[in-house]
Chain A
Amino acid sequence: MMRLRTVIAVAAMAVGLAVLSACGDDDSDSAGSEASSSAADTGYEIASTVGINVTSPFGRVYARGVNDAAERYGVEITNMGLTEDYTEQKAVDYLNSAIASKPDGIITAVYSGKAWEDPIKRAVDQGIPVIDVNSADPRPSDERAPYLFYIGEDGVATGRTAAGVILDEGSPQRAVCVISFPGAFAQESRCKGFLDEMAANDVDAEKLAVSPSDPTKAAETFRGYLTNNPETDAVYTLGPLGGDPAWDGVHTALSEEGKLGEIKWVTNDLSTQTLDAVKSGDLLATLDQQIYLQGYLAVQSLVLFLQNGFQPTSDINTGGLVVDSTNAAEFSKQAEDRLR
């Protein structure tokens, strides 16, 4: 019976109805006290129009952050995000219809500056403040779309951090950044940071593209790379273990080649399996961009701005937070609860 109900609930979500109910109701008692006096029912309507598929594991953690903050501040979230895979067209359409509904504030994710510039300008002209999460306008700060500020990861900085974690263990002979969506800004910028930092330390490093959807191809491509470059002793992958075909493929190849624990390996994002690999020493570290925090802070920041015009004067960098053997245990419960 329970299962049937779950299936029905999820089916409903697939048509975008149950997004709100699907998200957690944990108390967010650590949310900070600065807004506590005005916490209850601010009554603002905020549209979250990010091009993140909120039915994906990653997107659901984001939606949960948004909903937890909305509950804390009595904000109504008028829509949430895509319920299908991202395309630029869909994401921008979605932003446009959000503007037409005249909310008090908008959260969006800018994946390419140009396409988002006009809609964001239009929103700002109408007096609707916009906050950008997850992906910043890649252009210089004086040319970018006129959102208030950006909350999220700086991909290049994260890639540099990944390289730093490896270099701290001693200089590798050869390092490789494994990418599964070549051309995707978030992945490319992480690789760029990683490769730049390795090059600055005179380490041979390059980028390897593997299949995003077929773990066998990913594993064999990676194994082929190791065959050809047996001196490779550092790897940077861009996502969590336990489901994503690309990273599971690399994981399996490393395990089958007996290189786990021997090769210096850093990845991105959290999952139970990723944390287990950090604890067992297979992974040096994982870098968490804290997507829950992005959703939560975006709602909270809009409330603070709408109430009293508060705004930070620079972007808020939510990570790569380094999760290694020293702190992995602390995050296990949160990964299980899908807060990270």
Chain B
Amino acid sequence: MERGAAESAAETIGTPPSEPLPIRARLRGGGGSLAEQLAARPAAGAAVATVAVFALFSVWADNFLTTESLATTLTLSAELGIVAMAVTLLMISGEFDLSVGSVLGVSSLLVPYSMTEYSLPVGLAVVVALAAAVTIGLLQGLVVVYGRIPSFIVTLGGLLLWRSVLQVLTEGFSVTVPGDPRLLDFFSYRLGNGFNVSVIWFLVLAVLLSLFLTRTGPGNWIFASGGNERAARSFGVPVDRVRICLFMLTAGAAGLVGVMQAARFTSVDTTRGANLEFEAVAAVVIGGTSLYGGYGSVIGTLLGCLMIGMIRNGLVLAGVSSYWYTGILGLLLVGAVLINRFIARMQARVA
């Protein structure tokens, strides 16, 4: 983009460039006008876009503002969001996880599989499923940190390996949860008006993870690990341990969603979770988190997920062929990165 054009655009939207602040200060907002504060936050672009998408579909799609529609949007956002928020923390720490979809599939399968093959009670089956996910996260984290292999490669390997394990265990056939265990309601209960208990998980986790990231010491370690790793180490930040824990958190989140899907749909097949990794990374990036680590927010990701949910639901309600969905998501993704870069440049220029 031409320098002049960028500057005049900045004037047009009335956003006075703020000075480049240290990361923590930027997260808290640097003071000054509301617009200035917004521009300094990772979620600013996402917030504006969320309002725009919401307004668009409110006008365009007849039933978008109904309770049922809101429930659909939230349910669509919830499962993606639970995974994507964990991925956000991992990406802020400077790492990637491409294996979330396959891990989701494995843990989802382990619920009915351990019940039918090993006659485990449902509670234990859920524990096995979640423990398996967290263990996978631990393994991948150890390989990344101590094997010094980029997480992109390790988790790409994981994506392939765990999907294959899923196929080997099932011999390609699907497995069904026996009986109708009430305990699974904890993960999939229908709350009325189309609301699903997954939405509560989503919102509670959003608050917890956001507070953890922005208000605690370990949260600060995450930023430090992804920002300037050497500096972080010299200040005594346990970068390796932080990253391994985040790999476990991410895999655990994928495992939780796997259990939710097993609970709601009772049958699990080998495709479960496929392509989740792309949508999760898309949601994180749309939410303003940097691909290079050190910068981002849970709230941004939450907004990214809400947008993805609104678009998916809104297109159906507007009667638009769902063939458009992935295309629009792609445009939104690239658009979000452009906007975020634009904001960052404005900040840098004033320095």
Contact = CB atoms under 8 A, between A and B. Distances in A.
Interface of A: 3, 6-7, 10-11, 13-14, 22, 53, 55-57, 59-60, 182, 207-210, 212-217, 219-221, 223-225, 227-228, 241-245, 248-249, 252, 256, 273, 338
Contacts of B321: 207, 209
B62 A228 contact: yes
Given A224-B317, A241-B267, 5 more contacts: A3-B117, A57-B174, A208-B322, A242-B174, A242-B176
Contacts of B176: 242-243, 273
B322 A210 contact: yes
Contacts of A217: 76, 312
Contacts of B194: 223, 256
Contacts, number: 114
Given A221-B316, A243-B268, A248-B267, A213 B273 contact: yes
Given A216-B75, A216-B76, A245-B271, A209 B174 contact: no
B190 A256 contact: yes
Interface string B29-72: 00000000000000000000000000000000111001011001
Given A57-B174, A256-B190, A227 B323 contact: no
Given A3-B117, A56-B172, A242-B176, A227 B72 contact: yes
Contact of A224 (B69, B273, B274): B69
When A and B form their complex, which 10 residue pairs have the shortest distance between CB atoms, in order from nearest? A243-B174, A243-B269, A213-B274, A209-B322, A224-B316, A213-B271, A215-B265, A55-B172, A227-B68, A228-B317
B90 interface: no
B173 interface: yes
Contacts of A243: 173-174, 176, 267-269
Given A14-B164, A209-B322, A213-B275, A248 B190 contact: no
A182 B326 CA distance: 12
Nearest to B262: A215
Nearest to A55: B172
Contacts of A7: 168-169
Interface in B167-182: 167-169, 171-174, 176
Contacts of B173: 57, 243, 338
Interface in B156-173: 164, 167-169, 171-173
Interface of B: 61-63, 66, 68-69, 72, 75-76, 79, 117, 164, 167-169, 171-174, 176, 190, 194, 261, 264-265, 267-269, 271-276, 312-313, 316-317, 319, 321-323
Nearest to B198: A216
A227 B63 contact: yes
Q: Which residue among B316, B319, B321 has the maximum number of chain A CB atoms within 10 Å of its CB? A: B316
A18 B147 CA distance: 35
Contacts of A182: 322-323
Given A14-B168, A213-B272, A221-B312, A249 B317 contact: no
Contacts of B117: 3
Contact of B265 (A3, A14, A53, A249): A249
A212 B63 contact: no
A208 B315 CA distance: 11
A223 B68 contact: yes
Contacts of A207: 321
B75 A245 contact: no
A214 B78 CA distance: 13
A182 B272 CA distance: 19
A204 B72 CA distance: 24
Contacts of A227: 63, 66, 68-69, 72, 317
Nearest to B169: A7
B271 A223 contact: no
Contacts of B76: 216-217, 220
Nearest to A225: B316
A221 B79 CA distance: 14
A57 B172 contact: yes
B79 A216 contact: yes
